[in-house]
Structure 1
C-alpha cells in the first residue's frame, strides 16, 4: 500500500498501539470512574449542607465528607494523569521502535522513491502527536463523556424544566464546535506533510553543507528552506484558525448556559418551584456538564490532529518490508567457501524507468577475480546491486553456485557477500563501531589486522582513544581515501567468501592503491571477487574482464585478449579506465 492509497484510520486503528498497555488503561478507566463519582457527589453534598444550614441543623459531618471528596478526587485525578502520561510515552516509544525497525527493512527501491527528511519527520514529530491522542484526545473524551452523562442525569432529576432550557443552549454550541473540529484532521495531515517537506529541505542542505558553502549558495539554499518553512507555517496557521474557533465557541457555550440557568433558575426559586440549595447544586452540575463538554470538544480536536499523524505513520507501516524469502520452497543456503556466480541473460529496469541491463550473460568461476569495466551508465554498479538483491532481476536469472539468488534467504545470501559501495559510506560514531557493523563479535586483534591490511593502522594509533576515536558525521574526520579503505576493511573483517567491490581505488593515491591491491591479492586466493574497475592497475591481473556498454556485455576476456579484440576496451585502456 502506498501513501496515496492508504485509507483514513479511525479510532479502531489505535487499538494495536494501546493493546500492550491495556492493564494500565483499565486502571486509568477505573480511577476516572471513581474520580467522576467523587466529583458528581459534591453538588449533592453541597445542597445538603445548604439545606441543613437553612434548617439550623449540624453540618460538620457533611463538610468533612465534602472536603474528603474534594481531596480524594484531586489525588485520584493526579494519579490518573500520571498513569495516562506514562502510557502515552510508552505508546510513543513503542511506535518509534516499530517504525524505525520497519523503515530499516523497507526495500531499497522505497528509499529511492521517498525523501529522507519526510521519513525522519514521521519517526519524530508524527509519533509525538500520538501522545495527544492518548492523553488529551482519547481519554479526555471518554472521561468527559462519563462526567457529562452523570451531570446530565442529576440535573434532569433535580429540575427537568431547567435541564431542558440548559440542553437547548449547550447542544447548539457543542454541535457547531464539533462541526468545525472535524476539519482539523485533514488540515493537520497537510501541515505534517509540509513539516516533512521542510525537514527534507533542511536535511538536504546540511548533508551538503561543504558543497553549498564552496559554491557560495548559502543564500539560495536558505531561501529554499525558508520557502518550505513558510509553507509549513501557512499550513499550521490553517489548523490554528480552525482550532481558534473551537475555544471561543466553547467559552460562549459555558457563559451562555451559566447566565441562562441563573436567570431561569432564579425565577423558579422566586416562584418556589425549587430551593436555593437545588439551584446551587444545579449550577455546580452545570459546570460538571459544560466544562467537560468544552474539554471534550478540545480533546476531539486533538484526537483529529493525532489521527492525521497516525495516518502518515500507518502509510509507511503499510509498505511491505523486504521479505526474507519470497519464493516458494526456498533452497538450502549454499556451502561456505568461494562461490561460482552466473549471470544468465539478466535483464533489469528500475521501477518507472527504462531498462538498464539487456541479456547480460557471463560466469565468474569460484575463487577467481572478475573485473567489470565500461563507460559511465553501462550498468556495472547495477550488477552488484542485483547480487545483493537490493533489486530483483526482471528477466533471466542470477545464480550463486547454481542456485537462483531469489531462492535463497536474503540473510544467507548476504552473509556470503562482502559489499563495498562506490561512495564508501562511513557511519557516525567511532572507528570500532564502523568495523563491527558486519562482524559484531570480532576481537581487538582482528580489528587491527583488518586496518593493517588496508594501510589504516595509523587511525587507531594517532589518537589516545585508539579504536574508539570518533570518525565524525558521515566520516567527515577522515579523508576520502581513508573512508574508502575503512569500508573495504569492514568487508574484509566480515570474512565473506565473495567480495563485491565497486570502484575500490577511485579515491586512493598511488601508494595506498598499491597497498590495497596487495590486500586484495592476499584475500583473492580464498575468495571470489567481482570488481567494478576504475583504474587500469585494478584490472590487469584479473582472471577475466567483462566489458559493458549500454547495459550489454560487448566483450569478455583477459587484458591481453581484449586489447586485441575490443575497440571499446582499447579506448578505455588508453585513458587508464578513468571512467566512473
Structure 2
C-alpha cells in the first residue's frame, strides 16, 4: 500500500477531532485576513480627520479572537497527534511481539527501537504540519488571493507571476528532500543499532580493551546520521529561502507598480498599503505549505519504516497470546525424517533427523557444537518451522497445535539464562504470573535460591539490574530453572542448564531434574557427562543427523564419538 494511504489510514480514526481543530485554526487565521481591510479603513479614517478609535478597537478584537481560536485549535491538534503516536506505538510493539523469530533475527534491536520511538514521533509532526496545516494553508492562500483580487487585479497579476514562477522551481526540490529524509531516518536507526551492540556486550568491550574502537564505530554512525540530517537541512533551507524570496521579490515588484499607480491617481494609498499587507500575509500559508510538504515527506518515510515491520511475517494469533500452566500428563515427542535450514549459506541444521522421546522420563541430546541440538528446541517451540518430515508432540502434528496451547505446555530454559530488568520476584513469576506464594517458595528452595534471597536487601523484591547484571551466571541459570518449574510443564526443555554451576549446586539441580522426570518429560542438552549419564535415553547428533541413540553404558561401549565426548568431559570435570 502506498505510504500516503497508510498515513491516512492511521489518521482516519481521529478525523472528527482533526476537523474541529482544523476549523478552529482556520477561523483564527481567517480573523487575520480581515486585518488589512480594517487597516485600510483606519488609514482612510485618519485621512478624513475622523477618530480612529472604532477601527483600532476592531483590530484589537480581531487579534485577540484569532489568537484564542488558533491556540485552542493548536492544543486539539497536539493532543490528537499524541494519540496517533500512542496508537502507532501500541500497534507496532504488539506487532513486534507477534513477529516470527527469523524476522526479528534479521533486524537489530537498536533499529527496532528507533522505529518505535523516533519514527512514530514523526507521525505527530506530519499530522499537525503535514496534513492539517497544509490544508489550512491552501484555504488561507485562496482566501488571501481572493481578497487581493478584490483590492486590485493588476497588482495580483504581478504577484502571481513572481510567486508561481519561483514556486515551480521549488517543487523540483521536493523529491530530493523526500529521499534525504528517508536516508536520515535510516541512519538514526543504524546509530541506535551500533550503540545497542556496545551496550549488549559492555563488559566484553571493556575486558577486550575495545572502548576506543567501539566509540569510533558509534561515532562514525553518529557522524553519518549528522551528515544525513545536514543534507535534509540544506535542501529544506533552500526550499524555504526560495519561497520567502519569492515574497520579497513580489513585494518589490508590487511596490514599484503600485507606487506608479498611486502617483498616477489610479490607486489609493490605503489600498496599496492593504495590498502589501496581504502580500506579507502570503508568507504564512506559503511557508505553511513548504513546511507541511517537508513534514509530509518525513512522515511518509516514517510510515514506510513502520510498515516494513508490520509487513514482516507474524505468528498465528489463534487463541490467547498469554501462556498458562500445562494441564495433563507428560508429552512425548517424535522427529521423523526432519529437515531444516536457517536460510543462509550454512549447511542444513537438520538433515533427516529421526528420534523418539517417550512421554515421561529424561532424554538427553549430545553431540559436537553445531550438530543441531539447540535447533531441536527451536523447532519444538516453533520459533522456526521445519521444512520436511514430521514432528509430533503428544501424538499430534506440531502444526496442529494452537501456538499458545503448545507453548503453554512447554517450559524452555535457554543456554544463556536471560534475566530481565526488574525484581527477582518478577523474574521468577515471568512465565507463571498466577503462581501463589507457596509455589514460589517451593521453587526457590528446590533451586537453592533461598540463600540468595536471604542476603538480598529486599528479598524477592530486590531489583536485579539490567539483564541481571548484579547476579552471577549460576544464579541466573537457577532463576531461569525456577521460572520453568513454576510453569508445571508437560515437556521441559533444558539447554546446558548446569554449565555455570558449581559441583554442589549442580548435584542439587540434577536431583531436581531427576525428580521432575518422574512426573513430566525432560529433554536436556548438555556437555557435562554428570548431567546426561542418568538419562533414560541419550540421542547422539552429528552434522545435523542422528548418529545413534541408547543408554550411557551402551554408547560408551558401542559408539566412538560418544566415547570420545564422554572421555573428554570426564577429563574436563576432573573426575
TM range (shorter): over 0.9
Match of 1:342 among 306, 328, 334: 334
Tell me the residue number matched to 1:523: 516
- Post-superposition CA distance 1:69-125 (Å, at most 9, x none): 111001111111111111112222211121111112111001221122111111122
Kept after mapping to 1: 8 A contact 2:103/2:313: no
Tell me the residue number matched to 2:534: 541
Kept after mapping to 2: 8 A contact 1:325/1:408: no
Match of 2:394 among 392, 401, 423: 401
Query: Hey, which bits of structure 1, 4+ residues long, moved more than 6 A?
Result: none
Tell me the residue number matched to 1:243: 236
In 2, distance between residues paired with 1:435 and 1:105? 23
- Post-superposition CA distance 1:263-310 (Å, at most 9, x none): 211222222222222222212221222332023212211221222122
Give 1:511 deviation, angstroms.
0.5
Give 1:59 deviation, angstroms.
4.5
In 2, distance between residues paired with 1:187 and 1:444? 56
Q: Does structure 1 residue 256 correspond to structure 2 residue 259?
A: no
Give 1:577 deviation, angstroms.
7.0
For the residue of structure 1 that corresponds to 2:489, the secondary structure is coil
Give 1:433 deviation, angstroms.
1.4
Moved more, 26-35 or 163-172: 26-35
Give 1:462 deviation, angstroms.
1.2
Give 1:376 deviation, angstroms.
0.7
In 2, distance between residues paired with 1:501 and 1:324? 26
Kept after mapping to 2: 8 A contact 1:426/1:474: yes
Q: Does structure 1 residue 9 correspond to structure 2 residue 10?
A: no
Tell me the residue number matched to 2:27: 34
Where in structure 2 are the equivalents of 1:496-511 lying within 5 Å? 496-511=489-504
Kept after mapping to 2: 8 A contact 1:325/1:407: no
Tell me the residue number matched to 2:322: none
Match of 2:133 among 137, 140, 143: 140
Moved more, 569-578 or 106-115: 569-578
Tell me the residue number matched to 1:378: 371
Where in structure 2 are the equivalents of 1:453-472 lying within 5 Å? 453-472=446-465
Tell me the residue number matched to 1:571: 564
In 1, distance between residues paired with 2:496 and 2:269? 91
Give 1:418 deviation, angstroms.
0.4
In 2, distance between residues paired with 1:356 and 1:415? 26
Tell me the residue number matched to 1:222: 215
In 1, distance between residues paired with 2:154 and 2:27? 29
Q: Given the superposition, is the C-alpha separation of residues 120 and 197 from structure 1 closer, same or farther in structure 2, using an over 3 Å criterion?
A: same
Match of 1:495 among 488, 497, 510: 488
Kept after mapping to 1: 8 A contact 2:326/2:408: no
Superposition RMSD on alpha carbons, in Å?
Answer: 1.9
- Post-superposition CA distance 1:127-176 (Å, at most 9, x none): 22222211222222111111100000111121111100011111122222
Kept after mapping to 2: 8 A contact 1:534/1:578: no
Q: Which consecutive residues of structure 2, in runs of 5 or more, have no partner in the other structure?
A: 320-324
Tell me the residue number matched to 2:113: 120
Tell me the residue number matched to 1:477: 470
Tell me the residue number matched to 1:412: 405
In 1, distance between residues paired with 2:20 and 2:255? 38
Kept after mapping to 2: 8 A contact 1:190/1:235: yes
Q: Given the superposition, is the C-alpha separation of residues 214 and 570 from structure 1 closer, same or farther in structure 2, using an over 3 Å criterion?
A: same
Match of 2:348 among 324, 348, 355: 355
Kept after mapping to 1: 8 A contact 2:366/2:373: yes
Give 1:534 deviation, angstroms.
2.0
In 1, distance between residues paired with 2:547 and 2:48? 110
Q: Does structure 1 residue 277 correspond to structure 2 residue 273?
A: no
Moved more, 158-167 or 132-141: 132-141
Where in structure 2 are the equivalents of 1:153-168 lying within 5 Å? 153-168=146-161
In 2, distance between residues paired with 1:102 and 1:447? 32
Match of 1:318 among 300, 303, 311: 311
Moved more, 337-346 or 13-22: 13-22
Tell me the residue number matched to 2:98: 105
For the residue of structure 1 that corresponds to 2:541, the secondary structure is strand
Give 1:49 deviation, angstroms.
2.7
In 1, distance between residues paired with 2:244 and 2:27? 27
In 2, distance between residues paired with 1:503 and 1:318? 35
For the residue of structure 2 that corresponds to 1:494, the secondary structure is coil
In 2, distance between residues paired with 1:459 and 1:90? 44
Q: Which consecutive residues of structure 1, in runs of 5 or more, have no partner in the other structure?
A: 1-6, 327-332
In 2, distance between residues paired with 1:235 and 1:476? 36
- Post-superposition CA distance 1:341-361 (Å, at most 9, x none): 111111111123431111111
Kept after mapping to 2: 8 A contact 1:420/1:501: yes
Q: Does structure 1 residue 54 correspond to structure 2 residue 47?
A: yes
Give 1:56 deviation, angstroms.
4.0
Give 1:382 deviation, angstroms.
0.3
Give 1:375 deviation, angstroms.
0.7
Tell me the residue number matched to 2:300: 307
Kept after mapping to 2: 8 A contact 1:170/1:290: no
Kept after mapping to 1: 8 A contact 2:27/2:70: no
Kept after mapping to 1: 8 A contact 2:3/2:303: yes
Moved more, 94-103 or 142-151: 94-103
- Post-superposition CA distance 1:351-391 (Å, at most 9, x none): 23431111111111111210001111110110011000000
In 1, distance between residues paired with 2:202 and 2:539? 38
